Amino acid sequence: MIRYYRDNMKKIILILILIVPIFVFADLSIEQQDDVASFAKNFIIKGNSTEHIKGKFGILAYGQETRNEGFNNQLSLIKKDYIGMNIINDKKWVFDCASFAAYVYYHTLNVHTILGNNRPYVVKEFVSDAMSKKMNFYFIMQNVTVSNIDYNQLQKGDLIIIVGEHIMVYVGEGNIAHFTSSAINSLNLGCEVTDLKTKYPQHKVSVIRLLDGVVPKNRKANTLITWPDTKKTEDLSDPDNIPTINVTYQDKIAQEINIEITINDDKGITGYQVAASTPSTYINVDRQKEFKIDYTITKNGTYKVYAKDSRGQIATYEFTIKNIDNIQPKIIDVDYSLNKSKNTFQLEIKATDTNDLLYSIDDDNYQKSNYFNNIRIGKHLIKVKDTANNIAEYEIELSENMIPSITLNYDATNYTQELIVNIIAKDITGIKEYNVTTIDKKPNNFLPYQNNLTYTINSNGTYYFWIKNNKDIVINKSIIINNIDNTPPTINDVKITKILNKYNIDINASDLQCQMITYSLDGINYQEKNSFKFASLINNTLYIKDKCNNVTTYKINANEIFNINIMILIIIIIVIIGILIIYYIKKKRNAISLTNNENY
């Protein structure tokens, strides 16, 4: 009975030993695990380099026959810190598997696994020392076939033991660093970094790990080593590069942009965040060396991706999104006209957006043109879609009596200086606004409409009268005006004759448009005749007016007046002189006749 309980108790204890690790956290921080593993791995890789092999330094695994020397060498190495070390086979440092594991823990974390006894140090004794009353280590696996090990349960720095035979330092990714005579060849002096399952596929192993609290998690592991042959000091930890971040996305206009974030880190990623500034919290990532995530952005702006690795290093990646459009197009107006012969409408959809637009009526067949012909009477759903698929909708009901009408009353038969147009607009919904332009383009601004509205035209040309009803439907009607005359008559010639104190005036004038011309000497009293007889000049000014009341004035120059009085005086003088000459001639003849008679 006692034996039965004893055997069952052993099973219970074994089960507890296997279960305990589930509830116990590793003593080493992530950074310490990385440092221990990289120190053990790089110690072997660099110690086997040509630089050290050619010198009087080397690392050499030894067998049972040299174990005493090797053990004493390690005691000297550890206790005296590289001073006065023994030389074996002309090599300054030699290890067996257990002393190498002990040296890694002592050098990096100052954890003593050697009790200081001067005897060959074999694996059994190492395990015994490691699991001594100090309880620095505990089992996380026992007697597990190597090929069945789940590496997800292992951590860098774990010690893997073939009980009574061999011990190895786990350095991650299924690899071990160890010293063994089976590794000796022409290029390797008995130490190697290799894949565990390849090296020992069918062996049964146990795994031990430091207990929580043995090493403070904030202690920096010592990874510096001074080689005794070259006297050079190196850091044997693997470089800890900051995470690398890459962001990819399609550069197209959309309501939202889906980006793909890829983060890589050699030590593993612990968190990430997308924020405008350094975040206080991160989204946890379970130490993945490569991490990808899809992230959706719904607003334009500058964004930063932050990534943190297992050692707390933070990397950032900044990018700018400019092509998000989640604003609907704006439908400003829908203009339409009625085709009375077909009893259908033509629609023009007027909409704005920062991007190109497509238009649809009553279905999802979109077109680039904003014009639609032959739209039947009734209700219709208008859709306007931009490049980012934002859609605006507008419902309209078309009917025959919804088209506003404009009547323009004016006299275009007679010439005038200005023309008054009476505007009469009607619509079943009411007329709200109006405007008048000289170009066929809907004005941006309208004026309030009122009854008995008039508009004055002062020059010839084409005029467009616009009205807008209470549904903001706009139509226009145009007129061509040719009977505006604001050009005065043209004076071609003026003849003025002065007789005594009176004047005879003859005026030759013409007009191309109004044509009918009247004449005045005072600017008040006009006559149709273009001549004035025995008139009195008031201010030496003539007035000529056409039918449109355009007036031309003519200032009389004194040099232009032909004076009849002077001519009469000249004629009288000439007549008198002629009479005198005749009288003189007759008198001369009479004198000659008397002389002749006396001679007879």
Q: What is the pLDDT of residues 335-366, one digit of tens each?
A: 877 787 888 999 999 999 999 999 999 988 99
Here the tokens at position 331 are: 């439908």
The SS3 of residue 410 is coil
| Nearest one of 93, 95, 96, 100 to 58, comparing CA atoms | 93
The larger pLDDT score, comparing residue 81 to residue 146, is at 146
Residues 209-231, mean pLDDT to the nearest whole number? 87
Q: Does residue 252 carry a pLDDT above 60?
A: yes
Please check whether residue 358 is in contact with residue 366, taking contact to mean a CB–CB distance below 8 angstroms: yes
Number of H helices, E strands in the chain: 8, 36
What share of the chain in percent tops pLDDT 90?
46
Report the mean per-residue pLDDT for the chain: 83
pTM greater than the 0.85 cutoff: no
Q: Does residue 548 carry a pLDDT above 80?
A: yes
Q: What are phi and psi of 350, to 5 degrees?
A: -110, 115
pLDDT in the model for residue 24: 43
Q: Please count the other Cβ atoms lying within 10 Å of the Cβ belonging to residue 438.
A: 11
Q: Does residue 538 carry a pLDDT above 90?
A: no
Please check whether residue 498 is in contact with residue 469, taking contact to mean a CB–CB distance below 8 angstroms: no
- CA angle (145, 146, 150) in 5-degree steps: 100
Please check whether residue 427 is in contact with residue 404, taking contact to mean a CB–CB distance below 8 angstroms: yes
When pLDDT is cut at 50, 70 and 90, the band that residue 556 belongs to is confident
- 513 vs 489: CA distance, rounded Å: 9
- 421 vs 432: CA distance, rounded Å: 19
Residue ranges and CATH numbers for the domains of the chain are 2-235 (no CATH), 244-321 (2.60.40.10), 330-401 (2.60.40.1080), 404-481 (2.60.40.10), 490-564 (2.60.40)
For residues 323-357, one letter each, b for 16 or more C-beta atoms within 10 angstroms of the residue's C-beta and e for the rest, the string is ebbeebbebeebbbebeeeeeebebebebebeeeb
The label of the residue with tokens 């690795």 reads 309
Residues 33-42, mean pLDDT to the nearest whole number? 94
- For 384, the enclosing helix (H) or strand (E) is strand 378-386
- CA angle (372, 375, 378) in 5-degree steps: 135
pLDDT in the model for residue 520: 92
When pLDDT is cut at 50, 70 and 90, the band that residue 13 belongs to is very low
| Nearest one of 111, 207, 222 to 155, comparing CA atoms | 207
Q: Does residue 408 carry a pLDDT above 80?
A: yes
